[in-house]
Amino acid sequence: MRRKRDRIGVYRSSQVAKILGMSSRTLYRMLADGRIPEPMRNPENQYRVWTEVDLQSIREALQR
């Protein structure tokens, strides 16, 4: 049985920041400023759940 965090294409905030080459603090600042949309949240623990679509949105925001 696979654990939830082993799902392909679903990332934690720290993973997203690392993939995009930024700090977690920068990622959270972009969320707070409204530069990127808030991702879905896990209903069990309310952690942010990022997808490939979310990553693409962030990449586009960084190019503006």
Q: Where are the domains of the chain?
A: 4-63
Q: In this structure, what are the phi and psi dihedrals at residue 62, rounded to the nearest 5 degrees?
A: -70, -25
pLDDT of residue 64: 82
Q: What is the DSSP letter of 35?
A: S
- Written as six digits, the tokens of 60 are 């586009």
pLDDT less than 50: residues of the chain: 1-2
Residue 36: strand, helix, or coil: coil
pLDDT of residue 34: 94
**pTM attached to this predicted model:** 0.81
Enter the CATH code of domain 4-63: 1.10.1660.10
pLDDT at res. 1: 44
